[in-house]
Each structure stands twice: as C-alpha cells, then as structure tokens.
Amino acid sequence: MTASNARRIQWVFIMTLAYAAVQVVGGWLSGSLALIADAGHMLSDAAALLLALVAYRIAARAPDKQRTYGFHRVRVLAALANGASLLLLVAWIAWEAVQRFREPTEVLAGPMLGVAVVGLIINLAGAWVLMRGHQGDGNLRGALLHVVGDLLGSIGAIAAAIGILYTGWTVLDPILSVLVSVLVVRSAWSLVSDSLLILLQAVPRGLDVEGVQADIAGLPEIAEVGHFHAWTLTDDRVVATVHVTPAPGTDPLALPARVARQLREKHAIAHATVQVDPPGELQGPHAR
C-alpha cells in the first residue's frame, strides 16, 4: 500500500514541477497575481511532494537499536511540514494581494486564461491519481490537499481571467487569490493539527478510552483493568498498553493474547502490550 502511494506521489510530483515552470513564465508575462500565487503554490507543492517521497523511503527502513519503533514518524513529520508550508503560502498570497489592492497593475487576461486552463487539466489529473490511493495515509492526504489547493488556484485564475476579459477590473485578480487561499486554510490546519496530535501521542480520534477499558473489564477472564494508554504510531497504526488482573481460576499467561485480540478485533488497535498484575494491584472504576 505504501509503495503504491509513493508511486502515485512520484507521478504527481513530476507533473507539478513541470507545470510550475510554465506558470512562473506565464504569470510573469501576464502580470497576474493569481497565476504568480498559483505558481508559488505549485513550487511549494513540488517541494512538499518531494519531501513526502523522501519520507516514504526513510519510513521503510528497518528499526534499529536507537529507534526500536522504526522510522514511521518521519511520514507524520512530512505531513506536518506540508500543512505548515501551505499556511505560510497562504500568508504570502494575502500579503501580495494587499499590495495589489493598493497599487493595481495591468493583467494580460488572455495568456493568463490559457495558462490557467492547462493548470486545471494537470491538477485534475493529479487529484485523480492521488484519490485512487489509500486515504488513511496522512502523507498521501497531505499531498492530495496540496493538489486540491492548486486545483482551486487554477479555478480562481480562470475566473479572474474571464472576469478581467469582460469587465477590465484587474482587482478581480487579487480578490480571487485571497478567496482561494481561504479555502486552503481549513484543510491545511486540519493536516497540521492531526499531525501534532500524533506527535503529542494523544488518544487517536474516535477511540473512547473509558469504553475500551469497560470492554476489557467485561471479559470473564479479567478481574481488574487499568493504566490503559493508546496513541498513534503513524497515521494508520494505533498501539496501546494496558494492565490487567486475572479472575480467579484464569491462567495469567493466557491473558495478554486474549486482551490483545479483543483490542485488535473490536477497536482496531494493531499492537497492544498487556501487563498482568497480581490481584488487588489495580484500583479504578472498572475493578471488580
């Protein structure tokens, strides 16, 4: 699955980098902020996609004595960097738009429209390629958000070019640039916040800690349960630790496998470390 996602990102990286060069020239010749902003967006995305590809290669390395969990978090760091770069790009576009409001500049709508249409086609193709990948991968999701942002940028540039052709209002160029940026902010912030939660080892979204403990406590082999902790190792792998006490007559050596299977099958926790404690060792709301 990871290798397939990496190949998809590689193809989109090549398309993005090639079109970014076209947009830089087209934006400079036409004087369009919408195209220049989108060109900067594309160049930023090309760098982000390259970072994602590097992250896949590093994450595939085997664990070692210093990093016993392996290098999976590199993918999370790449997703965080992608989201942060989008937020910085939005800030830059907003700043440039303010300058254009103060000092309007001439925009050649014809060349601007042509370049924007080509960009729309390329971004649609890139989004289609990435949407066919595994969306549980935060690295791929970050790449897709960048491409969607580029897609919105192309739509904004087309709308601005058509508006300028028919009305001559060059102010449409910075206005639509800002509107596109606003649309990108929400997705970028979601990517950043999700990555930060993983790095802070927060409880995975949708996992009810008290509900999981109650479920374990309901097993007939369990007398007590406590000290349950769960976190996300990478975007699609949840791990947990928990302490349990065996019910009378239960083989303590059978409990780790039993509890781990329950967590895996009912709560999608891929790996669980289960510690068996003597009776009376645990105190909590689920002690029986």
User: Roughly how many angstroms between the first and final C-alpha of the chain, as a whole number?
Assistant: 43
Residue 81 has pLDDT above 70, yes or no: yes
Which structural domains are found in the chain, ordered by start? 2-199 (1.20.1510.10), 209-276 (3.30.360.10)
According to DSSP H, which parts of 168-238 are helical? 172-199, 209-217
| Least-confidence region, from 26-35, 90-99, 188-197 | 26-35
Of the pLDDT bands very low, low, confident and very high (cuts 50, 70, 90), residue 287 is: very low
Q: What is the pLDDT averaged over residues 95-101?
A: 79
Predicted pLDDT at 35: 66
- CA 42, CA 95: separation in Å to the nearest integer? 18
Predicted pLDDT at 1: 47
**Listing from the earlier edge strand, what are the strands of the sheet with 222-234?**
222-234, 237-246, 271-276
From residue 154, how far is each of 35, 47, 181 by CA, in Å?
A: 8, 19, 12
Residue 79 has pLDDT above 90, yes or no: no
- CA 48, CA 139: separation in Å to the nearest integer? 10
Residue 54 has pLDDT above 80, yes or no: no
210: CB partners within 8 A, 6+ apart: 285
- CA 86, CA 189: separation in Å to the nearest integer? 9
Predicted pLDDT at 260: 92
Predicted pLDDT at 236: 64
Residue 199 has pLDDT above 80, yes or no: yes
Q: What is the pLDDT averaged over residues 260-270?
A: 90
Predicted pLDDT at 234: 67
117: CB partners within 8 A, 6+ apart: 154, 158
Predicted pLDDT at 288: 46
Predicted pLDDT at 225: 92
For residue 226, what are the β-bridge partners? 243
Q: What is the pLDDT averaged over residues 253-271?
A: 90
Residue 287, phi then psi, degrees to nearest 5? -65, 140
Answer whether 108's CB lies under 8 Å from 31's CB.
Answer: yes
Please tell me the number of Cα atoms within 13 Å of 77 on its side-chain side. 11
- CA 154, CA 165: separation in Å to the nearest integer? 16
Predicted pLDDT at 40: 64
Return the higher-pLDDT residue of 10 and 286. 10
Residue 70 Cα to chain centre, angstroms: 20
Predicted pLDDT at 162: 87
Predicted pLDDT at 111: 76
Residue 36 has pLDDT above 90, yes or no: no
According to DSSP H, which parts of the chain are helical? 2-30, 33-59, 73-102, 109-131, 138-167, 172-199, 209-217, 255-267
